Structures are given as C-alpha cells and as structure tokens.
C-alpha cells in the first residue's frame, strides 16, 4: 500500500498493529465500507506518518490521473458530483472544509462509502495560512481533521491540501505527522470562476500534460458547469488511456 514504502518490515508491523487496534476500537466504521479489506489498509496507511513533500503523482503510474474535488461537502453539488463519478467508475479525492463536513456528515459518509478518499482542507479556508502563526495553522488543520473524521464515522483524511496552496514547512510537517500527505495540483480548471463548460473541458485537455492532479470544486457557488464538464472530461480521459486513481502517499 502506498505510504509504507521505505519503512521496512518494522514499520509495517507497527502500522499493522495500529490498524488492528483501530479496527477493534471502531467496528462500526468498517461496516459502512464497500470494500472492507481495501478500506482497512487505507486506514492503516492513514495512521502512519507520510512524506512531507507535496504530492502530485498518481498511484496509477504514468497514465494515472487524480480527480480532486475541493471545498465541500455541499448538499446541492456533492451528490451530483458523486453521481457523475459513479457513472464513470471513477474514485476521487475530496478535500473538505471542516465546518462543511460538520454540517453535512451524511454526505461525508456517502463519499467514504463510495470508495473515495478524504483530504483535510482546514476549518476556515484561509488562503493566507502561510502568513499566520504556527498555533493558528495547527488549530486549522487539526480541528478540521477532527471534524471530518467525526463526520465520516471514524475514517481519517489521508491528505492535507492548504487552501490556495498556502503550505508552509510547518503545516506540511504537521499534516504528515498525522498521516496526511500534503497534496498539490497540476491542472487548475478554475471551475469556481464559472468560465463555461467548454473552457473547463478545454483547460483539462490543454494542461493535462502538466501533470496528473486535476482540481475541481463541489461547493462555493453554482457548480453546474463543473458537473457538466466532468461528464465530458471523465469519458475523454478514459478514451485517452488514462486511469483515475489516488494521489501517492
């Protein structure tokens, strides 16, 4: 499983022991998992420290693509995004704002049950986090982690994405120590500016060569363009030989 590379058997044994302890403590979480074995390993990986480097690569290799969906969950748009993902057999990474997760726990559980992964996107979505104190950064990251984990029923975020990409060495280290790999992006679709469906689709086609991690949003306003664009982009990616996966850990 990604995230355990390089730590050897000793690290794996510790990770397994931690995983067993977590499983024993929270049996209800796993009853909700569609793929319990995979889910367990995901949980183990999330419990162990990961690299502090900002991830962009896909766990599906050179032709892998990571669909990342930010700022939700949102009662209007998250279900629509989930439906498009389901129709295309695609798993994505949802970077959730803590207060949104707290307000819509059923949506967080739906995301997890569908096999998608969670990412900590802080409590207040402050894009100037890199100018703030370590105490503030810590509160923003750890409180959101708690909110998302509680809302999901115990499934922890596996990534941390700083709002606006405002990472700091401190925030990356803190997130990694919690098993959350710092997560960047390569293609900013700028869907939040509502540039039109054709423009969002064209941006992906033009910039996919930049790297595999694509940024979309399922909250923060009318996301009908995002939903419509995904309906075109996901089949196109498949036609081009890409496989959608998760960011490396």
**Least distance (Å) from Zn ion to the CB of residue 41?**
28
**Least distance (Å) from Zn ion to the CB of residue 71?**
4
Q: Binding of Zn ion at residue 70 (CB under 5 A)?
A: yes
List Cβ neighbours of 155 (8 Å cut-off, separation of 6 or more).
Answer: 29, 39, 43, 46, 112, 118, 149
Task: From 24-32, 64-72, 106-114, 142-150, give the range in contact with Zn ion by CB under 5 A.
Answer: 64-72
Among 101, 85, 12, 67, residue whose Cα is nearest residue 212 = 67
Q: Which is nearer to Zn ion, 43 or 223 (CB)?
A: 223
Among 221, 197, 215, residue whose Cα is nearest residue 76 = 221
Of 56, 70, 218, 222, catalytic: 70
List binders of Zn ion among 148-167 (CB under 5 A). Answer: 163
Is the CB of residue 147 less than 8 Å from the CB of residue 153?
no
Among 172, 192, 170, residue whose Cα is nearest residue 69 = 192
Interface characters, 160-199, with Zn ion (x: CB under 5 A)? ---x------------------------------------
Q: Which is nearer to Zn ion, 71 or 191 (CB)?
A: 71
Catalytic (active site) residue 217 = yes
Cα–Cα distance measured from residue 66 to residue 185, given in angstroms and rounded to the nearest whole number: 9
Q: What is the DSSP letter of 131?
A: G
Among 68, 69, 71, 172, binds Zn ion (CB under 5 A): 71
Of 71, 120, 217, 218, catalytic: 217
Q: What is the CA radius of gyration of the chain?
A: 17
Q: Binding of Zn ion at residue 74 (CB under 5 A)?
A: no
> Contact residues for Zn ion (CB under 5 A)?
70-71, 163
Catalytic site residues?
Answer: 70, 217
């Amino acid at each position: 499983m990604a995230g355990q590379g390089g730590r050897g058997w000793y690290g794996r044994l510790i990770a397994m022991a931690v995983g067993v302890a977590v499983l024993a403590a929270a049996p209800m979480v796993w009853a909700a998992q569609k793929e319990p074995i995979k889910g367990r390993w995901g949980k183990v990986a999330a419990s162990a420290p990961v690299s502090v480097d900002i991830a962009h690569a896909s766990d599906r290799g050179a032709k892998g693509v990571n669909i990342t969906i930010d700022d939700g969950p949102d009662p209007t748009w998250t279900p629509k995004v989930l439906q498009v993902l389901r129709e295309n057999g695609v798993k994505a990474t949802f970077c959730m704002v803590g207060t949104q997760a707290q307000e819509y726990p059923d949506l967080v559980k739906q995301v997890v049950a569908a096999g998608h992964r969670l990412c900590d996107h802080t409590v207040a979505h402050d894009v100037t986090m890199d100018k703030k104190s370590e105490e503030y950064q810590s509160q923003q990251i750890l409180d959101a982690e708690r909110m998302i984990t509680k809302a999901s029923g115990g499934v922890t975020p596996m990534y941390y994405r700083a709002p606006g990409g405002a990472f700091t060495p401190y925030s990356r280290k803190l997130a990694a120590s919690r098993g959350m790999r710092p997560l960047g992006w390569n293609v900013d679709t700028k869907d939040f500016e509502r540039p039109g469906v054709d423009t969002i689709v064209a941006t992906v086609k033009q910039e996919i060569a930049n790297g595999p991690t694509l940024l979309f949003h399922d909250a923060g306003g009318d996301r009908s363009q995002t939903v419509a664009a995904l309906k075109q982009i996901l089949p196109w990616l498949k036609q081009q030989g890409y496989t959608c996966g998760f960011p490396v850990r």
